[in-house]
Each structure stands twice: as structure tokens, then as C-alpha cells.
Amino acid sequence: MPVFTLGIEEEFQTIDPNTGELRSHMSKIVDGGQIVLHERVKAEMHQAVVEVGTNICTNIQEARQEVTYLRQMIIELAEKQNLKIAAAGTHPFSDWQEQLITPNERYDRLIEELRDVARSNLIFGLHVHVGIESRNEGIQIMNAVRYFLPHIYALSTNSPFWRGRNTGFKSYRSKVFDKFPRTGIPDYFSSAAEYDEYIELLVKTGCIDNGKKIWWDIRLHPFFDTIEFRICDVPMRVDETICLAAIMQALVAKIYKLHKQNLNFRPYRRILINENKWRAARYGIEGKLIDFGKQEEVPTHQLIHELLTFIDDVVDELGSRAECEYVLKILEMGTGADRQLAVFQQTNDLKQVVNYIVEETSFGIR
């Protein structure tokens, strides 16, 4: 098989250690970080968000080293500004209306177009790029991998609270992001040419100015030779991020291998996959997803085990068996959402939930 390179981007919250609130002082962290991290740290639209991204990694071990290093550095830079870093898909109680916007022409245009939909988009995600040989191969892999997006999403759920409320969802982040145009599960595309024609049509008609304004849960990247997974909440722990990235890489490798053997994985319609995405957002790993082949509900835990079986013949070649099997630990201890809710049940204090997220963000780093 080819080398399925990895690039991982994580979005973090900047936290006031005294109040637990979001603090719009990201620029101080970014300015200091760019001295040592260069392009691997950057500002986002809200000043309470800081994003870091790895270099191109040839395997999951390199990716772990990069993710760990970046988290460590961003935590240290934040501490110099008397701030903390937290990894969760939403902040448990801070209000988006109180957060400052980063001065930037691109963000100004986005807010002018989308108004409060953009202003209220105070969410934090994990984006994973997996390198591909060709765009034509990539579009076929993307079509097939869509089916597994709810499985991966369920494992990442880490945003049960929004503006001080227990939303009843394991991932409310996706409900916030659903207000944006061009989000969610993408449609089926027969070829890279059809995909490119779609983007060109949107540019020609003034819907977008470039392909990066397509914010689907998975996309063929408009500028890089990668498939970009965008569906996940940012996980609390490095181990969880690396596990999810390893599973994404293995799925791409597995579908690629099937294609080279002249075999196919049945593509399912977007409207069916959306049913499972909704269940994943609502219940995380504790609910049921639909097995569309069997046409019946199946416990999500069972389907996660079946996912491990599906990718089993490629993980050793990728050198990622241990990283993929960490999913069993997630099933045992619960996702970030499950753990946040457990802390809240014990303390009835969202500030304690924030403290827990901050502690977990540095788990295994120092």
C-alpha cells in the first residue's frame, strides 16, 4: 500500500483559571506560539479559540509525537498568560455573545454573509487529513467511508453542555454547526470531475469564493491531496485523538485495498447515513445505530467492534494496531461527553466540569 500520511488539527478553548469562563486572549498565545511553532498554530474567528496543526506525518507514531508536543507547547504558552487550555466540543457555560471576534478580513466577510450563524459558531473540532494517491481514488474512498462517519463521531462526542444547559445530546457541537450552509454528510459523487464541477458551479454563481467554504463532515480537500475528516468533536485526551486518527487512516487504507482487489464497499445514501449521525449526536456510544445491510438497530458498541474487525487486516501494515484498539478503552471509560456528565452528576457544578476538561487535556503529556 502507499503511505497514507496524516495531518491533525485540534481546536482548543482558552480558559480563565479563576472563573472557568472562556477568555478572548488567544492572540497572546498565537503571537508567542508562532515564534516556536510557526504555521502550526493559528488564530480562529473567535478570540477564545486557538488551533494547532501537525506537520505531515508518515505514520501514527509520528502523529502522536506531534500532537503531544503541540498540546504541551500550547498549554505552556497559555500558562505564561495566566490561562488554561481545554479540549471539548463546546464550553459548558460561556455565552458566545460575550466573545470577541479576531480582526481579519476573511472573518469580517464571513460574518457579513452569515451574521449570527457565524457569530454563534463557538465550537471546537478535530480535523484529520489522510493523504491519497489521486483525487479520483479519493472521491471513491470518500463515498464509501461516509457510512462509518457516525461510528467515528459517536466515539468523539464531547459537547453535552451549551450556554449552561445540559442539552441532552452527547455532541451539541454538531447542532450548532448545522446552521452553517454546506455542512453535514456529503452527497455521493461519481468522479472527481463531478465533484470539481460542483465546486466550480458554486464559485461561478457567487455561493463561495473557494472550495474551503464547503464544510462537510468529510471532504476531498480543494488544495491538498487528502481526504479530510471534519465530523469529530475535539477529544479531551491525546490518546483519544490518536485513536480516532488511526481509525480514519485505517478506513481509507481498507477501502483502497478493496478497490485494488476489484472489490467494493456498498455506498449508502446520505439521507440514511444522516439517521445514524443524528443518533450518534444524541446518544454517543450508549445508543443504537442502524445497520442498513441488516435493516435493523444494533447497539453502537457492537458496531464499533465490527468496525475494528473490518479494518483488522490493514492495521498491522500501518503499524497502528495499539492505537486503533484504544477504542476499547473509550468504550470502557466513556467518551468525553460521558465523563463530563459524570462529573456534573457528582458535583452539580459546571465550573468543576471545566476543571476536569482542563486536567484531561493534559493527560499523558506531563
pLDDT for the residue numbered 256: 96
pLDDT for the residue numbered 33: 62
Let me know the angle formed at the C-alpha of 57 by 54 and 59, rounded to the nearest 5 degrees: 135
pLDDT for the residue numbered 354: 98
Structural domain boundaries of the chain? 6-361
pLDDT for the residue numbered 34: 63
Cell of 145: 467511508
Residues whose CB is less than 8 angstroms from the CB of residue 366 and which lie 6 or more positions away in sequence, other chains included: 72
pLDDT for the residue numbered 197: 95
- Is there a contact between 90 and 82 (Cβ–Cβ < 8 Å)? no
pLDDT in tens, the chain (366 residues): 899 999 999 999 999 999 999 998 666 667 666 656 666 777 677 788 999 999 999 999 999 999 999 999 999 989 988 999 999 999 999 999 888 888 778 888 888 988 999 898 999 999 999 999 899 999 999 999 999 999 999 999 999 999 999 999 999 999 999 999 999 999 999 999 999 999 999 999 999 999 999 999 999 998 889 999 999 999 999 999 999 999 999 999 999 999 999 988 888 999 999 999 999 999 999 999 999 989 999 999 999 999 999 999 999 999 999 999 999 999 999 999 999 999 999 999 999 999 999 999 999 986
pLDDT for the residue numbered 38: 60
pLDDT for the residue numbered 99: 86
**Maximum CA pair distance of the chain?**
59
State how far Cα 151 lies from the chain centre. Answer: 13
**Which pTM does this prediction carry?**
0.95
* C-alpha to C-alpha distance for 360 and 1, rounded to whole angstroms: 36
Q: Which residues of 2-28 are buried (b: 16+ CB within 10 A; e: fewer)?
A: eebbbbbbbbbbbbbeeebbbbbbbbb
Cell of 66: 506531534
pLDDT for the residue numbered 27: 65
Pick the CATH number of 6-361 from 3.30.590.20, 3.20.20.150, 2.40.33.10, 3.40.50.10160: 3.30.590.20
Cell of 280: 450518534
Other beta carbons within 10 angstroms of residue 210's beta carbon come to 11
HEC secondary structure over the chain: CCCCCEEEEEEEEEECCCCCCECCCHHHHHHHHHHHHHHHEEECCECCEEEEECCCECCHHHHHHHHHHHHHHHHHHHHHCCCEEECCCCCCCCCHHHCCECCCHHHHHHHHHHCHHHHCCCCCEEEEEEECCCHHHHHHHHHHHHHHHHHHHHHHCCECEECCEECCCCECHHHHHCCCCCEECCCCCCCHHHHHHHHHHHHHCCCCCCHHHCEECEEECCCCCEEEEEEEECCCCHHHHHHHHHHHHHHHHHHHHHHHCCCCCCCCCHHHHHHHHHHHHHHHHHCEEEECCCCEEEEHHHHHHHHHHHHHHHHHHHCCHHHHHCHHHHHHHCCHHHHHHHHHHHHCCHHHHHHHHHHHHCCCCC
pLDDT for the residue numbered 42: 72
